[in-house]
Amino acid sequence: MDNESVMENKHTEHIHRDDVGSKMGMWLFLFTELILFGGMFILYAGYRFMYADSFRVAAMRLDTVVGTVNTILLLTSSLTAVLSLAAIQKKQKLFSMYLLVFTIVCGGAFLINKYFEWSTKIHHGFYPRGPEMADLPDGEVVFYGLYYVMTGLHALHVIVGMVFLTFMLVFVYKEKITFDNSQKLENAGLYWHLVDIIWIFLFPLFYLIH
Amino acid sequence: MNEVSYLKYEGKHNGLAGWLLSTDHKRIGVMYLAAMIVFFLTAVVFGLLMKFEMLTPGRTIMGPQTYNTLFTLHGVMMIFLFIIPGLPAIFGNFFLPIMLGAKDVAFPRINLLSWYFYIIGALMILASLLFGGGPIDTGWTFYVPYSLRTGTNVTFAVFAAFVLGFSSILTGLNFITTIHRMRAPGMNWFRMPLFAWGLYATAWIQLLATPILGITLLLIMLERIFGIGIFDPALGGDPLLYQHMFWIYSHPAVYIMILPAMGLVSEIIPTFSKKNIFGYGPIAMSSLAIAFVGYLVWGHHMFSTGISDTSRAIFSLLTFLVAIPSGVKVFNWVATLYKGSIDLRPPLLFVLIFIILFSIGGLTGLVLGSLNTDIHLTDTYFVVAHFHYVMFGGMGTLFFAALHYWFPKMFGKMYNEKIAAIGAWTFAIGFNVLYFPMFILGYLGMPRRYYDYLPEFRNLHVISTIGSWIMVTGIFIIVINLLKGFLKKEMITDINPWGGTTLEWTVPTPPPVENFDKIPVITRGPYERDEHK
Amino acid sequence: MEKTHSINYGTYVLVWLGLVALTTLTVAIAGLNLYSLTIIVAMAIATTKSLLVANYFMHVKSDSRVFKVFIVVCIVIFLTMIILTFFDLIFRYPAK
């Protein structure tokens, strides 16, 4: 984050860089993301409490297989993200880049899956103001509202994470990220893992109510 | 290079660009100040117009829809553009790094970004008046379902508040990291100035409460645009959950407003009583305690909405807890003044006005926090009077105190102290004439947010409106006096005009670009005084 | 420059295997009918998975104490919000 001072002082003998401070800034930012989703989790908990039966019925219409595949995809991408950091710290630049590419591809696959999942739902008329929604009981309407907002917001974070990681890939290639200067990569990784953790909770809450 | 003051420094960019692209925390602080004074005065004018409308029963100068718009804008601008960001963004940015013995905040570029978020959000609020379905009329709380149904430009205004939230979050993130990582050698946590403690507690609230408002406002937008059912009762939503979410943020936000202000009091009182602060530890800890308890009491905004009786009792009990750390602070301040050699200069005068106004606001808060009296007083002028005493009498008065305290250091100029004192007294008298009758009006049953009233309330409304004129005269005197000081040709170079003991009084006036030639080594508490001076 | 996180590839892969195993477990359990226990079991497994990701992939385990304190503060605040909200909901919609 604070690479400004690093750039400016490149040619001076004393390089001011605070990796811990940079990581702290990233973590604090992650907390705001956690609370942002936390707000949605409060609403989810409240409405699930009010409409327990409708939630169960509505959740039956979601595809558990798609959800499981997406979970595995994100978990795997999280593994390769952290491996790419380990690789760069072991001075294995090329390996680190392969791992980053794999991570981004996993994120892409997750989004493609999500796209087909949403379009199937929309095709069947289950979307806000959609033809099926008028006849549904209140609880199911709320369930789909939460479903679209929470998975949509999550998908948005996946996209942002992929953009971050792409920048990191370029930085590794240009050797702006090296074995002794890898905080940026670690920060991007932290963001990616957080997106993973949020999905770890979304998955059972939407796909596994029976 | 470090000889040049931050005002005169010329780097890669000069002139206006040298300010707009500057990552210097001092310039960013001054840019916040400039922007906020404009928005504050605009919102003051809205308030003045509202009071004028209340001069007579029925229509005086405007109809009900205009009045609804005015109280909404007055609230939105005062709260989101002035009271919440005011002290951290202006004085926190300017003085936190200097007080800690650092050259800048931890993330200078993010700091500048945060200013741009603020300006964009503010301009969006103003722009929302000009197009779409017309100016918003929901009140600053955007309660559903009305905010989902009204044809006015809610979607855009809500997005503006969302952007402002980003600005607030980034400032908080920056301050926490700065305080953890950039304190000068020897400055341990308990040698930090109490203003920094106030900002630290505030920053945690900015960080951990603002995202809740963010997501809630986002949902309002999504519901209005796509018809998603989350809060809308017609689609199975629960409007009370909206109110929960809104107040989960907005109650702690009250402490975003007041904690840095309280920290400021703990700076000014030792300086002008020439004494070490009494009870440093309790004051510092009470800031953290207020920040935490602030998360536990939001339900007291919803006592009459139909939430469960159990939760009402719990929230009422927790609300009374806030009085404890607040009381700790007031007692320690008074104990610091006791037997001090008191020098009643303008900053201290504002602080003493604050203590009285804030105590009235705090005590009437207890009346509202207890369930049975709240049923009688909720949504009346009593509430309006209470929160103006707490917020305007609290943060607003201390905003003036901060300006008068740090003005010579920030600009290297001095204002006329006599006129400042006259302004302060006029403000204080006008304030009480304006808001005290509202307590009585509320007790008698005058509801808030109405442009009209029954004839028997007339006398008190007239007194209140006259009070608004006196108070605005006071603000006018204060602002003009400062402006005249600012435009003076002669500079002052006195490093320490008030005899303060914290680090900002050890750097040149106005501070140089890098603040310190050599990072100081701290060997004593922030308010300990040298014997030889 | 000190090496901050000297965990080798093997540990990460093991953690990943654990995460996949827990995912399988949670899907399998969802097929059983545990009534009110369903949500508790699902949340317990999700919490375990998150702890694994945070401790190993995000290196919280080897980070300095201040990060752990931060995380606890964040979680405590969030739990406070949800618990106080439920003091209203549970008594407003009784016996469900």
Contact B293, B299 (CB under 8 A): no
| pLDDT (mean) for B222-226 | 94
pLDDT at C4: 52
Q: Compute how many other C-beta atoms are within 10 angstroms of the C-beta atom of residue B197.
A: 26
Identify which has the larger pLDDT, A17 or B354: B354
Within this chain, do residues C59 and C81 fall inside the same structural domain, yes or no? no
User: Where does the pLDDT of residue A16 fall: very low under 50, low under 70, confident under 90, or very high at 90 and above?
Assistant: low
- Give the separation between CA B510 and CA B433, rounded to whole angstroms: 38
Q: In Å, how far are A187, B209, B379, C86 from B302, measured between CA atoms?
A: 40, 18, 11, 14
pLDDT at B283 over 50: yes
ipTM: 0.94
Domain of C38, in residue numbers: 1-63
Is the peptide bond preceding residue B510 cis, with omega within 30 degrees of 0? yes
Write down the pLDDT at residue A4.
Answer: 40
pLDDT of residue C5: 54
pLDDT band at A47 (very low <50, low <70, confident <90, very high): very high
Give the number of domains in chain C: 2
Q: What is the mean pLDDT of residues B223-239?
A: 92
How high is the pLDDT of residue C82? Answer: 96
* Closest CA relative to residue B413, chosen from B343, B271, B510: B510
Residues 223-252 in B contacting C (C-alpha not used; CB under 8 Å) = 240-241, 244, 248
| CB proximity A46 to B under 8 Å | yes
CB atoms within 10 A of CB C22: 17
- For residue C38, what pLDDT is reported? 83
pLDDT value at A32 more than 90: yes
Contact B307 C88 (CB under 8 A): yes
Where residue A129 falls (left for φ over 0; alpha for ψ -120 to 50; beta otherwise) is: left
Look at residue A10 and tell me whether its pLDDT is greater than 50.
no
- Report the share of chain B in percent with pLDDT over 90: 89
Chosen from B179, B200, B208 to mutate, greatest number of chain C CBs within 10 A: B208
Least confident of A182-196, B224-238, C12-26: B224-238
* Band (A11; pLDDT cuts 50, 70, 90): very low
Homologous superfamily, domain A42-207: Cytochrome c oxidase, subunit III, four-helix bundle (1.20.120.80)
Confidence of residue A7 (pLDDT cuts 50, 70, 90): very low
pLDDT-based confidence at A3, cuts 50/70/90? Answer: very low
pLDDT in tens, B64-77: 999 999 999 999 99
Q: Are B394 and B258 in contact (CB under 8 A)?
A: yes
Q: In the predicted model, is pLDDT for residue C2 greater than 70? A: no
Tell me which of A78-87, B116-125, B440-449, B521-530 is least confident: B521-530
Alpha-carbon gap, residue B87 to B255, rounded angstroms: 12
A29 interface with B at CB cutoff 8 Å: yes
Section B512-524 average pLDDT: 91
User: Do residue A79 and residue C1 have CB atoms under 8 angstroms apart?
Assistant: no
Read off the pLDDT of each residue in B453-479 and give the average, rounded to a whole number. 96
Question: How far apart (Å, rounded) are the C-alpha atoms in residues B309 and C5?
Answer: 51
Shortest Cα distance, chain B CAs vs residue A3, angstroms? 9
- How close does chain A come to C40, measured CA to CA in Å? 11
Q: Is the pLDDT of residue A152 over 60?
A: yes
The distance of C71 to chain B (nearest Cα, Å) reads 11
Average model confidence (pLDDT) for chain A?
90
Question: Is 80 exceeded by the pLDDT of residue C96?
Answer: no
Tell me which chain B residues have a C-beta less than 8 angstroms from the C-beta of A137.
236
Per-residue pLDDT at A5: 41
**pLDDT band for position B133 (cuts 50, 70, 90):** confident
Q: Is the pLDDT of residue C95 over 60?
A: no
The reply to whether residue C87 touches residue B204, judged by beta carbons under 8 angstroms, is: no
Q: Which chains have 3+ CB pairs within 8 A of C?
A: A, B
> Angle formed by the axes of helices B458-487 and B397-411, to 10°?
10
Q: Helix, strand, or coil here: B222?
A: helix
For C36, other C-beta atoms within 10 Å of its C-beta total: 7
d(CA B240, CA B308): 11
Work out the pLDDT band at B81, boundaries 50, 70, 90. very high
Q: Between C1, C53, C78, which is nearest A196 by CB?
A: C53
**Cβ atoms of B504 and B96 closer than 8 Å:** no
CATH code for the structural domain at B15-505:
1.20.210.10
The mean-pLDDT minimum among A10-14, B439-443, C40-44 falls in A10-14
How would residue C39 be classed by pLDDT, with cut points 50, 70 and 90?
confident
Average pLDDT over residues A24-53: 96
Q: Which of C4, B350, B173 is nearest to A183 (CA)?
A: C4
Question: What is the pLDDT at residue B122?
Answer: 96
Average pLDDT over residues A69-83: 97
Structure tokens at B69: 């718009």
A52/C96 touch (CB, cutoff 8 Å), yes or no: yes
pLDDT at B13: 81
**pTM for this entry:** 0.94
Residue A181 φ then ψ, to 5°: -145, 70
Shared domain for C56 and C68, answered yes or no, is no
Question: Which residues are CB-neighbours of C83 under 8 A, at least 6 positions away?
Answer: none
Nearest Cα residue to B242 out of B367, B158, B127, B132: B158
What is the average pLDDT across A26-43? 97
Confidence of residue C7 (pLDDT cuts 50, 70, 90): low
Among chain B residues, the shortest Cα distance to C83 is held by B296
Distance in angstroms (rounded) separating the CA atoms of residues A198 and A192: 10
Per domain, the residue ranges of chain B are 15-505
Task: Quickly count: other Cβ atoms within 10 Å of residue B62's Cβ.
Answer: 16
Structure tokens at C20: 């996949």
Using pLDDT thresholds of 50, 70 and 90, give the confidence band for residue B389.
very high
Domain map of chain A by residue range?
42-207
User: What are the two backbone dihedrals, phi and then psi, of residue B426, each rounded to the nearest 5 degrees?
Assistant: -60, -45
Indicate if C13 and C47 belong to the same structural domain.
yes
Residue A162's pLDDT band, with cuts at 50, 70 and 90, is very high
